[in-house]
């Protein structure tokens, strides 16, 4: 309600926002969550809530009239198509040098992601978040995050025999033939459900190629975990299709938050003003960074420090495909949920997930998403001429990540006498290097904030999402985002309530 006064307002309903809202509600606090995307709780005309990867429609993209698929081409042909303008689930947000993919809706990135739920190796943690106590994270907060997210591992015996992971077994064999360790990657997908999909006894999700545009059945998105717990407290109100546009100190204390209510074509229907005692920025690395950069530059929150907008990285994401010989068929049925990776982090700076290419036909292709130790960091800045926030990332900054990924795939290609695919990211383009799925940083812990996410310069303002992590987590990020949020909110509840 416009004019309302709330104790706590949380901007965004992804991992960081969900952890904050749940723990605050359990501590007895009433929480208002504001989410610019849709609720994703109502089936469309086809009876399903989410669209399939092979048949994108308006539900698939955030306010676009043309899809922008991460794999833009197949066998040399562009595969993007026209769709109706709609507040769809996947945002392909374009900056000058990189497209940043993000989830939009109640559940944030958990709606669109692959569910790969990876805890970094302990020895790598000090480089990820140097000011955070390693024992506390590995003894308390990572286990807490893994339990609440519902993380599980594929049954290795089933992996060895099921048709839908033929592609991953080829990935394992080829990694091992080149001397690289292959590791199973945990996921929040319900593995028992997937076994039933393979038996044909339940509606298919992973085995119907669902990923990127939502998952109708087997994946435990935040809707089924943290947000279900949040609803059970009865103390949290969630407002979808509401976008925060401003936060500024209010006369007499607290913060005035301005919110646009939007319709499903993105038009503002109402503008609301809410007074909040405390505000948690959980709009994701890009969303939080854009808001804070704009608010500092335009004089709404001038006391935020100079670290705002700094330290942004792409988690070293690069994608690549390889063409196999006919004896290494990868299967026409591919589970959309990756379950294994190639670990060359210590020696080559790359951790490569063996990813599906669920086209429904045999492609003889192996496909990988690599996370690399790319050291490049960008910054957000306010552009007064366009009234927008820019990101300084440049296309050429992916090169270190490509070189690190090549530490794995050049060797595999040499061993197998195979070549890279050059038809997936354009015409004669080998590397998927114009995008990231893993934006991190922009309000870095212990720099833009104190060591628990309190924004410097104001009391009662917090960052509690991927913006806290300076650019890289060595693996997929959401378990670390969740665990860090669990750690920070515990400290905030103990000292600030």
Which active-site residues does the annotation give?
353, 438
Q: Which of 56, 58, 88, 114 binds ligand FDA (CB under 6 A)?
A: 114
In sequence order, what DSSP letters do the residues of 185-254 get, joined into one string?
A: --BSB-HHHHHHHHHTSS--SGGGT--SS--SSSB--GGGTHHHHHHHHT-EEEESSEEEEEEEEPTTSS
- Interface with ligand FDA by CB under 6 A: which range of 108-116, 151-159, 223-231, 263-271? 108-116
Cβ atoms 2, 273 nearer than 8 A = yes
Cβ atoms 44, 52 nearer than 8 A = no
Question: Interface with ligand FDA includes 470 (CB under 6 A)?
Answer: no
List, in order, residues 6 or more apart from 50 with CB less than 8 Å away.
40, 59, 89, 111, 210, 213, 214, 215, 216
Question: Among residues 15 and 193, whose Cβ is nearest to ligand FDA?
Answer: 15
- Restricted to residues 219-258, the positions that interact with ligand FDA (CB under 6 A) are 243-244
Question: Interface with ligand FDA includes 284 (CB under 6 A)?
Answer: yes
Residue found by looking up tokens 């920025």 in the block: 281
Query: CB of 473: closest distance to ligand FDA in angstroms?
Result: 8
Q: Which H helix or E strand runs over 382?
A: strand 380-383
Burial of 413 (0-12, 13-18, 19+ CB in 10 A): middle
Alpha-carbon distance 265 to 429, whole Å? 34
The pair of three-digit structure tokens given for residue 182, joined into one six-digit string: 């292959």
Nearest to 302 by CA among 107, 163, 455: 455
Question: Among residues 324 and 480, whose Cβ is nearest to ligand FDA?
Answer: 480
Q: Which of 31, 212, 342, 371 binds ligand FDA (CB under 6 A)?
A: 212
Query: CB of 467: closest distance to ligand FDA in angstroms?
Result: 7
- Contact map string, positions 436 to 455, toward ligand FDA, x by CB under 6 A: -xx-----------------
CB atoms within 10 A of CB 290: 22
Parallel, antiparallel or unpaired: strands 340-344 and 73-74: unpaired
Question: Interface with ligand FDA includes 215 (CB under 6 A)?
Answer: no
Q: Which of 465, 474, 483, 489 binds ligand FDA (CB under 6 A)?
A: 465
- Restricted to residues 21-50, the positions that interact with ligand FDA (CB under 6 A) are 34-37
Q: Which of 466, 486, 488, 492 binds ligand FDA (CB under 6 A)?
A: 466
Question: Interface with ligand FDA includes 101 (CB under 6 A)?
Answer: yes
Cβ atoms 466, 488 nearer than 8 A = no
Question: Interface with ligand FDA includes 481 (CB under 6 A)?
Answer: yes
Question: Among residues 112 and 328, whose Cβ is nearest to ligand FDA?
Answer: 112
Cβ atoms 344, 351 nearer than 8 A = yes
Question: Interface with ligand FDA includes 11 (CB under 6 A)?
Answer: yes
- Interface with ligand FDA by CB under 6 A: which range of 9-17, 149-157, 423-431, 488-496? 9-17
- Restricted to residues 119-158, the positions that interact with ligand FDA (CB under 6 A) are none
Alpha-carbon distance 198 to 205, whole Å? 10
The pair of three-digit structure tokens given for residue 87, joined into one six-digit string: 């507040």
- Interface with ligand FDA by CB under 6 A: which range of 131-139, 200-208, 269-277, 285-293? 285-293
Question: Among residues 64 and 411, whose Cβ is nearest to ligand FDA?
Answer: 64
Question: Interface with ligand FDA includes 287 (CB under 6 A)?
Answer: yes
Question: Interface with ligand FDA includes 12 (CB under 6 A)?
Answer: yes
Residues near ligand FDA (CB under 6 A) are 11-16, 34-37, 101-105, 108-109, 112-116, 212, 243-244, 282-285, 287, 291, 437-438, 465-466, 476-478, 481
């Amino acid at each position: 309600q416009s004019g309302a006064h709330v104790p706590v307002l949380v901007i965004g309903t992804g991992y960081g926002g969900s952890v904050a809202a749940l723990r605050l509600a359990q501590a007895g606090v009433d929480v208002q969550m504001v989410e610019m995307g849709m609720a994703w709780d109502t089936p469309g005309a086809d009876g399903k809530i989410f669209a399939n990867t092979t048949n994108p429609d308006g539900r698939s993209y955030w306010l676009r009239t043309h899809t922008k698929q991460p794999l833009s081409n197949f066998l040399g042909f562009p595969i993007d198509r026209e769709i109706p303008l709609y507040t769809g689930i996947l945002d392909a947000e374009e900056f000058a040098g990189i497209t940043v993919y993000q989830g939009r809706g109640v559940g944030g990135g958990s709606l669109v992601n692959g569910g790969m739920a990876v805890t970094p190796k302990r020895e790598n943690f000090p480089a990820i978040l140097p000011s955070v106590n390693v024992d506390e994270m590995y003894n308390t907060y990572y286990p807490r995050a893994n339990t609440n997210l519902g993380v599980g591992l594929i049954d290795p015996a089933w992996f060895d025999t099921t048709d839908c992971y033929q592609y991953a077994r080829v990935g394992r064999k080829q990694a091992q033939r080149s001397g690289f360790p292959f590791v199973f990657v945990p996921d929040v997908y319900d593995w028992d459900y997937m076994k039933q999909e393979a038996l044909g006894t339940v509606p298919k999700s992973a085995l119907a190629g669902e990923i990127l545009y939502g998952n109708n059945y087997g994946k435990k998105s935040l809707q089924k975990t943290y947000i279900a717990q949040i609803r059970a407290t009865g103390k949290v109100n969630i407002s979808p299709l509401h976008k925060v546009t401003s936060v500024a100190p209010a006369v007499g204390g607290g913060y005035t938050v301005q919110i646009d209510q939007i319709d499903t074509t993105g038009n503002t229907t109402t503008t609301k003003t809410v007074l909040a005692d405390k505000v948690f920025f959980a709009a994701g690395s890009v969303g939080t960074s854009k808001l804070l950069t704009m608010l500092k530059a335009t004089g709404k929150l001038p006391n935020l420090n100079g670290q705002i907008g700094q330290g942004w990285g792409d988690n070293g994401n690069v994608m690549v495909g390889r063409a196999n010989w006919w004896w290494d068929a990868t299967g026409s049925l591919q589970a959309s949920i990756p379950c294994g990776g190639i670990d060359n982090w210590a020696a080559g700076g790359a951790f490569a997930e063996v990813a599906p290419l669920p086209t429904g036909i045999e492609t003889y292709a192996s496909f990988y998403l690599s996370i690399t130790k790319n050291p490049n960091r960008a910054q957000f800045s306010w552009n007064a001429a366009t009234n927008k926030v820019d990101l300084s990332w440049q296309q050429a900054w992916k090169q270190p990540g490509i070189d690190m990924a090549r530490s794995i795939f050049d060797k595999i290609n040499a061993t197998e006498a195979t070549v890279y695919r050059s038809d997936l990211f354009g015409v004669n383009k080998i590397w998927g290097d114009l995008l990231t799925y893993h934006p991190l940083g922009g309000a870095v812990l212990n720099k833009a904030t104190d060591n628990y996410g309190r924004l410097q310069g104001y009391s009662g303002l917090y960052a509690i999402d991927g913006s806290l992590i300076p650019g890289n987590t060595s693996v997929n990020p959401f378990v670390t985002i969740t665990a860090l949020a669990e750690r920070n909110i515990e400290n905030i509840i103990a000292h600030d309530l």
